[in-house]
Amino acid sequence: MIRFIACIFLSITMLPAFAQSQTWATAVSKNKADGTAIIFRYIKDLGPNFKREVQPIRVIISWKYEGPNGMPASEMNVRMNELEDALYPAVAANGLATLALVSTGNGLKEWIFYSKTEAEFFSVLNKSLGRLKPFPIEIHVAEDRVWRSYEEFRTSVEE
């Protein structure tokens, strides 16, 4: 059985200024049968004045990879960090989008954002990533006004 274990990131100072009202946490899902794991980084607390309905569009960026024990090799992880470091501050600026959940494991890394609009998100994504070497990603967009994907994950975490 997969079990979630969560711990709080106390180092909020590592987050950009626009995200400092959010509390981040991590959780690990371990598969005891094969020893693999999925590591989750997620917003534990969105802050008292946060309004989810302002960002009703869910954007999932998926990156499939091969790596030891289902985790990305170090050079692959550097590229993944490059993507996040370029995109996250750009879409979070002015409240366009919120990065709610990141998962890594079983040969897949996913970033789940919630955005005001699909068009604005893609405009900023193209500007942010366009100057970098292309990334092997897939992007899936859907309306999720109540942040159901995020809430389903949050309620599954044992704290």
Residues 6+ apart with CB under 8 A from 81: none
- How much is the pLDDT for 21? 67
- How much is the pLDDT for 9? 33
For 6-26, write each residue's pLDDT tens digit.
333 323 333 344 444 678 999
Q: Which pLDDT band holds residue 29 (cuts at 50, 70, 90)?
A: very high
Say yes or no to pLDDT of 121 above 90.
Answer: yes
Percent of the chain with pLDDT over 90: 74
Of the segments 4-13, 39-48, 108-117, which one has the largest average pLDDT value? 108-117
Q: Which long-range contacts (CB under 8 A, 24 or more apart) does 90-95 make?
A: 90/124, 90/125, 90/127, 90/128, 91/115, 91/121, 91/124, 91/125, 91/128, 92/16, 92/18, 92/19, 93/18, 95/18, 95/54, 95/55
- How much is the pLDDT for 16? 42
